[in-house]
A = this chain, B = another copy of it.
């Protein structure tokens, strides 16, 4: 006779495939000596045979009967007993967890007779009738096909009749009557009376679980996830225990460590003589776990002991639900406990210290994305607030201060020491001096790549952009946010992590790079293969990047140097020049600015590589809006530079080829700065000169020539030598496809995944993130924002092609990535898989990237953070 039924006390070896995930977990805990409620599992094989034959396999009924007998013996209760009945829960449990299938029937075993026994044994008739009406409802719904809604409607009707606001306002008598009404509904819907025989209830519940394996939703899910149709599900039958049987009973939840701080020691809540539902329904407020120590010292001691062994077994902080029935402890559930980022760090460091896990496991367990919150000021998580409006979460961190409506005011009041938030329709290069002095920026218009967003991210300042609920009346010096009018000077808080705007002063907490974080990053650095650089455009950014552990600069955008307030007039003169000579004159005046910025950056990055991208954006970005043109000549030039799709227009190396004198000036400034720094400090930076937006090898061939010629002339004049590399950004699909030809003229490639995503997907980021992409994400057309997490199968596939083809002609080509994806943990893992040499990201995300890089290396070596716990 085939064996279909396994007690948890004996099923340990039968395995997940036969017992399902839930059953195997319960068997494992039982084997550990954890006091779990008794029960047994009907194997997946029974389900498979049931489906095949269309009926219960021979012998199953007998085996279930025997298992019930053993359970009665172990609990000292009897199924259907009129005094203290054995009740059970019935749950499905496939080998692979799967939504759509029947979930749970509780309180199975109750009947018109047994319910009074339960009322008696708990001394709580209200509870007993509530348990019974729940059974009728669940059973009716999932076993007999009576719509759950009909029961819900009846409950609402009863509450209305009794003037009861909530379920808990119904009395025991009310509930007794409700049971009768529910049974009537059941009778009408199922065409039979509610079954009174516990064994009969159980058999039909088990078959209902089997049947639910083949409901359409489950079939669809299996098809979508490639789960074979013939696995079948197991059925778990588990003793119900009750914490509301008097003062030697109770219920609680606890963690093996403090989930807020990570501090070792049990942390939890407890209620004497109560069921979990009481807590959920808000009838009673739980007390600290110490209360249990006093009330039930023996059970408490057993709990402490069990917690210790559970954590030792699962090697993870556990989150446990338990019940004490008549002084006897039952662990109902254990799982890996959720925790704050701070706690997560402390816990793994402590566990390594205790020898519980290895350093590698510690690294693998940290969720890199979660750490972002530690690297910026944030709103105190204990504070409750109501956001007045929501915009794009354009640059993380929170800031608060007085509203100011223009950059000059921001600069003035900011310099005077006041916290100010710059609030604008959108920002332009003219606003830079105000941005520098503001705590954060809020704009009504513009997306994740708007001027405000890019500059704020670069500065590590919070920014909420494209906030539709914001309008500004510059005449009246007022703003309206989410319908409420405020005056300049009124205080607000913005949260660039959530996009929230709050019309009050909310408590913030500072960034928290603590010792545990440092410890783990140190371990990570020993493990990772990917180097981590930062995107930094100023000496200040470069210093901040070093502080966070950056190993060089992967992207230094020279255009930001053009935008500083004192330079913009000269840059504009250069753009307005009518001929090359005038342009060269203006460029000669810009050169010293660029050189001095480069010197500052090179000093901060002594001995490390610095990748400098030559001028990239279209020239019109340096000019004001047409209506602010200060001369007819400027207006004409603005009109002339207007483009239908500037993202795909005259920018990048196209500019360099049209106006070679611009790139010449930049190369000259780079070389002179390097020579100056070397002379001053004795340390030569490792310069990498990068040409943006190359799509054709011929572009780079010419620009490489220009770069070498210009640099050689400078070095010759100085009679000095200096090493430098010349390379390109790979940010166009064509560049990926023809990377072989381009590689011939490049010492390095850096993938510009922002633009590569825009062109590969045909998504203008500004337009998409303010428009259709929002809907795409809401409606699951796309699983995630491709500008945040790299689109592996599209953009990533192009990168693979690019690497393969480039390496075929130049095996030792230096490869990196400098898009914002460089700071996204999953994208970092992909870069590791691709075999890149480095990622580069904003300074504030460098620690995350270091950790993510280590996790990728560990994952490759087979070390991953497996989901553990019951």
Contact = CB atoms under 8 A, between A and B. Distances in A.
A702 interface: yes
Contact of A732 (B648, B760, B779): B760
Contacts of A762: 647-648, 693, 695, 731-734, 755, 759
B775 A761 contact: no
Interface string A760-774: 111110111001100
A657 interface: yes
B696 A781 contact: yes
A188 interface: no
A760 B734 contact: yes
A758 B733 CA distance: 10
A698 B734 contact: no
Contacts of A733: 733, 759-762, 794, 798
B698 A767 contact: no
A166 interface: no
Nearest to A641: B771
A581 to B, nearest CB: 19
Contacts of A643: 764, 766-767, 771
A649 B734 contact: no
A648 B696 contact: no
B763 A658 contact: no
Interface string A682-718: 0000000000010110110010000000000000000
Contacts of A695: 761-763, 794
B699 A781 contact: yes
A738 interface: yes
Interface string A417-454: 00000000000000000000000000000010000000
A797 B741 CA distance: 14
B657 A775 contact: yes
A767 B737 contact: no
Number of copies: 2
Contact of A764 (B645, B696, B737, B795): B645
Nearest to A763: B648
Given A759-B762, A762-B755, A794-B738, A767 B650 contact: yes
A793 interface: yes
A648 B643 CA distance: 14
Q: Which of A447, A755, A758, A794 has the most CB of B within 10 A?
A: A794
Nearest to A800: B737
A764 B734 contact: no
B657 A767 contact: no
A426 to B, nearest CB: 11
Interface residues of A, number: 49
Given A755-B762, A781-B657, A794-B695, A767 B734 contact: no
A737 B756 CA distance: 14
Interface in A311-340: none
Contact of A782 (B696, B758, B766, B782): B696
Contacts of A658: 772, 775
A649 B737 contact: no
A791 interface: yes
Contact of A760 (B650, B759, B764, B776): B759
A644 interface: yes
Interface string A644-680: 1111111000100110000000000000000000000
A633 B517 CA distance: 54
Given A761-B732, A781-B698, A794 B645 contact: no
A648 B645 contact: yes
A644 B647 contact: yes
17 contacts: A644-B766, A645-B645, A645-B647, A645-B648, A645-B766, A647-B764, A648-B764, A649-B771, A650-B772, A657-B772, A657-B776, A695-B762, A695-B763, A699-B781, A733-B759, A734-B760, A738-B797
8 tightest A-B CB contacts, nearest first: A648-B764, A645-B764, A734-B794, A649-B767, A733-B733, A645-B645, A643-B767, A644-B766
Given A643-B767, A733-B794, 5 more contacts: A645-B646, A648-B648, A648-B767, A734-B791, A738-B794
